[in-house]
Structure 1
């Protein structure tokens, strides 16, 4: 009989798997914060432009072509009238002024070819009738219904010759050109009906709205202040949805009041299927608590959580959702902070996804000194005007970017760099347009 029993073996708990961090994070300052520019460039480095597709020409307006487009034949393909007027054979005018005038009658029922010595009515863009090689303006017709000429007319006057715009094989549109109606008209005239472009990115917004307990508390206090009804409490999602739609991209919104992590994980997984970018917004403002999206992201793919030297919006979250590496941006709670982060980081991401270059910076001069934060970039709602031909900004309302009333009065958001001294009057500041 054994005097001692073998001690029962207890399995050691398996160590928790470390969250996957995204590579190449930029350096930080003494306070562990990234600059706005470094964080923006880092996020853009982690995404690739949307794959190009063939698209019908009219539907491609506003999109960037992904290859040089060559003329399949001469453009115009045939000679046409360049103006509204009267087409005739220039040879019939060679005796004009030697010594007398040449009278050209207008044929109201033109034969084919046009009879020499007569003219026929044509419109700009129409084919030159057979037997004609020039077009004269409408105002040359006299009261007797004739055209009286005192000098010869040169061949092809008033006409647009075949191949005068582009010859077969010449480049019509360069790779990267953004198509507008004028370019589309020219391509259509060249017989091109389909182009290779980057489609509009598909953006899915996952909006976490206030839950039932938060809504009840708001309604209770609202009734105490005399209000009978309370809105949807979805101001942040509304602001971001409108800002996204203003960029001419495809937008889908998924709203939820749940804070259950399993349900939030399911929503994000579904949002990532077929999306090019996922945006997470929240109207839940609970101090000291991490939002549900940030809690589940480390288990859904590579993630990056950082502090950026900006106020508001210092806390930034980003992830590439498995398995397709769909980028997801976690925006701060509240319309103002979310809009600032959208302009600083989401807009550049959407341009990268669309294959477009960064937007040109708009700058406007201050109309009075503006206070700075000593070590963070801040943001002020402003109105823009032209004074003496120069763009000038003035503070909208109290200049509080977290105040919806100030935002409603603004044309743009002025970016105020950190510093110990106020921004002086007349100093140009970068502005992000709101309208």
Structure 2
């Protein structure tokens, strides 16, 4: 997972957003490939090209219910002068023993059934009397494919070109073609293609397992009653949902009280199912910042190279951050701030790229664009900080949502973009073009 410990710097060093992200991505490594059954591989990234072993479809087959005939036998057919053919039997999907269609003959054929020897085209049932000998179907009404009449004949009222309504062998993909290339994320259409060409399993990088836990004695689960000074734990739910949205298998741990030993024990217990750990809260300079207390000296002789580096970043929100590895497998851990907006923005900037890197993806970042700022007044930003403001984006314009406060969850729920204000900019006037991170 991780091959090296993160860089360290002096306690007063102010890291840039880019430095912190670069350190994370230089440390986190893609997970080792494994062989998975198709449905277990959904959402995973292929690590090898998949070649088609057999053509798809594997044989010429009918795309319609109708009759398999020779072209010459229906040439010139019309409602006034229909072609009358002998029905020699049925060809159903999955049938192995096929009829031989000779001159003046027709085989009743079902959709997906193989084209029988001697047949050159398929006449849809709507172009016939359905084998009932009732005369033309006025306006070519659709009718069901019924058994031949007493005389075993069918009347055809239209000519058909060669191979009309025939799906050619290999018309989808041919044997030897590359069906999917390495790096493809397996969604439902890709799973369908793999199954269609006979692949029951594939070699992929597995979806990372991400454990999310929040800290704070004031946190209460959403279905419980609030006491004095308590708030509901929203961060662990938000970040677990974020991890799943990024492609991970995410596990949410209930809020841990402000006790360093309890937190350390909880994290150690969760390591068995974690490729990446994410904590929220307890990383600033307060007296009860237990994440720092619990993890600042986590490395020992048995875990050389482990340890969490707590940093100050030149960004708003999200100045306090922690990053490093923990445990015998050097599991990456990202410690995020506790304010809801701070933790969410931090996830999008740092945790999501780490998850996508573990998956083995080439493009790990949210897309960005340029947009015109629409606002009633200028945006202000602290000098030397890269600010990320919530906004809504549409048609090349972006509008701020809510204020700059890191506790404004309601505003976050209505945002679909982050407005980026650079470190050297203290004011952005309406009408200015700004960088926008697209969140959906």
In structure 1, the partner of 2:392 is: 383
8 Å Cα contact 2:90/2:107 also seen in 1: yes
Kindly report the root-mean-square deviation, in angstroms, between the aligned alpha carbons of the 2 structures. 3.3
SS at 1:172 equivalent = strand
Q: Secondary structure at the match of 2:391?
A: strand
State yes or no: 1:335 paired with 2:322: no
Q: Partner of 1:277 in structure 2? A: 276
Counterparts in 2 of 1:10-409, with a 5 A limit? 22=5, 24=7, 32-81=13-62, 83-93=63-73, 96=76, 103-105=83-85, 107=87, 110=90, 112-113=98-99, 115-116=101-102, 117-120=104-107, 122-137=109-124, 139-141=126-128, 144=136, 146-150=155-159, 153-154=161-162, 156-210=163-217, 219-220=227-228, 233-282=232-281, 288-289=286-287, 291-297=289-295, 298-300=297-299, 301-356=306-361, 357-359=363-365, 361-363=367-369, 364-368=371-375, 369-385=378-394, 390-398=395-403, 400-409=405-414
Task: Tell me the TM-score normalised to structure 1 length.
Answer: 0.78
Retained in 1: the 8 A contact 2:82–2:157?
A: yes
The answer (yes or no) to whether the contact 2:390–2:400 under 8 Å persists in 1 is yes
Q: Which runs of 5+ in 2 are unaligned?
A: 92-97, 130-134, 138-154, 220-225, 300-305
Q: Deviations over 1:233-281 (max 9, x none)?
A: 3122222222223334222222354433333222222222231001112
1:333-380 per-residue CA deviation (whole Å, 9 max, x = no partner) reads 121111111111000001001112224514343213433332111122
Alpha-carbon deviation of 1:312? 1.5
Contact 2:67–2:123, Cα closer than 8 Å, also in 1: yes
Secondary structure of residue in 2 paired with 1:162: coil
How many Å apart are 1:195 and its aligned residue?
A: 0.9
Distance 1:207 1:47 in 2: 22
Q: Post-superposition shift, 1:24?
A: 4.8
State the secondary structure of the residue aligned to 1:304.
Answer: strand
Distance (whole Å) between structure 2 residues aligned to residue 407 and residue 134 of structure 1: 60
* In structure 1, C-alpha distance between the alignment counterparts of 2:32 and 2:283, rounded to whole Å: 37
| Contact 1:365 1:392 (8 Å CA) reproduced | yes
List gaps (5 residues or longer) in structure 1. Answer: 1-20, 213-217, 222-229
Preserved CA contact (<8 Å) 2:43 2:207: no
Alignment length (residue pairs) = 389
Q: 1:188 to 1:27 in 2, by over 3 A?
A: farther
Structure 1 residues 376, 126: closer, same or farther in 2, change over 3 A? Answer: farther
